[in-house]
Structure 1
Amino acid sequence: MSILSYRPYDFRELSDDIEELSRLYSFIQTEEIGRSVEGRPIWEIRIGEGTKKLHFNGSFHANEWITSSVLVSFIKEYAQALASGSSIGWVLAKKLWSEASLSVVPMVNPDGVELVINGPSAANEQQVKAINGEVEQFDGWKANIRGVDLNNQFPANWDIEKERKEPKSPAPRDYPGERPLSEPEAIAMAKLQQREQFDLMAAFHTQGAEFYWGYEGNEPEESRLLAEIFERVSGYQAVRFIDSHAGYKDWFIQEFQRPGFTIELGKGCNPLPLTQLEEIYIATRNICIAALLNAGT
């Protein structure tokens, strides 16, 4: 199985990878945690048996689909290392397996990813073109297929974002919806955390080569220590606070007071070009390993 995929990573690519991972590795578990607006499965991949429970996710935003690709690539490399009894990065894969249980939702927003990469379907063409101002290019689309920004959907000062965000109706980006957790994709992600009570969460986005680790002072001291480690292994800048609310990381920290991170991979304009894939993957892998190794310290 190839580690990196140098093609736009759409829902079919993800589905094929999940099928192959399940076939090759009996120690990998997959589960459908919900369905998108258009009925696509939102897949979760699980690996590891340790007591520390971590969760990573990608493609909350449609044109950030490269995050799905690198997260699945990490699962592939991790699984190969486990199967061969070798190391991943600087640590034995078996050590990570025995110490941590990892949950990954690689594509939170499959409908949006499909729109950005493959264009509208006959069923949704009229609706999405109207939301997009009749423009037929969808590279700037971040929202789900209904024009709701899934990372502005969570009840962490959602009313502030609702008031100040410029879009007041469905839009390609930034519209927080009519109420928190109105969208099935956001509901699935909230229910996942409420059910599983993960000890650490990292949401992978693009771009900026930086990451955010605080929210309203609710983050534990462990977050600072982990941020220092992530900064060192990735070369990305650690930023404690930004003027933003209603994101998944914000809600996670507010409600559970556990380490939560928004990781902004790469630099440039979304969708980031595949010429950055290897560099982005190295940063992603290093952060993932560091999180699995150091969570709970």
Structure 2
Amino acid sequence: MSTPFEIESFEEYLQTVRNELPEGRKYFRGQTKLVSAGYELKPSIGRYGHLLEKSFRERDELEREVLDVFSNHLVTHVQHLPRTDWEALAIAQHHGLPTRFMDWTTNPLVALYFAVRETKTDDDGGPISSAVYVLISDPQRYTNFNRKQQPAVKPVKDLATTPATRGSGYEEFGVEGLDPSEEDDPTPPTATTTDEMVEGSMHSPTPSPFEITENVIYHPPHVSPRMRAQDSVLLACQKPFEALEERDCLEIIIRHDAHDDIRRRLDQYGVFDRQLFPDLDGIAKWLRYRVFESKGEL
């Protein structure tokens, strides 16, 4: 994995994100532990080593069965039932169930928060650096599946409107009239059937997250204020028991001796506990930081 950056301050991180990263769409993930320290970039379900003893078919069936059980219990806990396995799996991920989804964000400051909010220690008790990982491979997006299924609507002529011709008065605005071949077309409009309007939509349905053939970025519905506040996106992994390939990511190391100052700066800029966790848990975490951890004032 490419590790061209080692950050020592909040300003240096901002400059790196603004000026040093490759062009294109980017997603960010903050981790308190580095990949090199053994915390690989893989989904939560992929961290259970004993599942590797099962065959691919057995693991696939287990994932589906667990989601089915979880979905059966959703009825009494949510206002709107999920319409697809994608939505159900996103809710399960949000509530801590191990899935093939990985949490990412479009907001680099949110990723920085998750990287520095808690400074981890090594086996000897010394503080360790953290990292923000940048997904640069531009994976397939879930919205592309839906876009391919949208009906291809064919235009129908408006019989109540007189066709526009040359010399219609718009030349002064730089708008030409219609091509002569299009003027006064005597051919009546033909009826458009539903089958004609929907071209192939029934033949290319959106695959289940268990059936994808490549990693897919999924923007889940905002089932809670946390997901909206954190600009959350999910990476559905085709091979959830394997780490992402090194070529897919960049690593921005955040030095442990910069954590304290970065935490203060994030709090000042409103990217901290009570904003990212807009509930009682977030308020409690923020008060714990302000009063007990940083010995600050309210």
- The TM-score normalised by the length of structure 1 is 0.24
Higher relative contact order (CA 8 A, sep 6+): 2
Q: Which has the larger radius of gyration?
A: 2
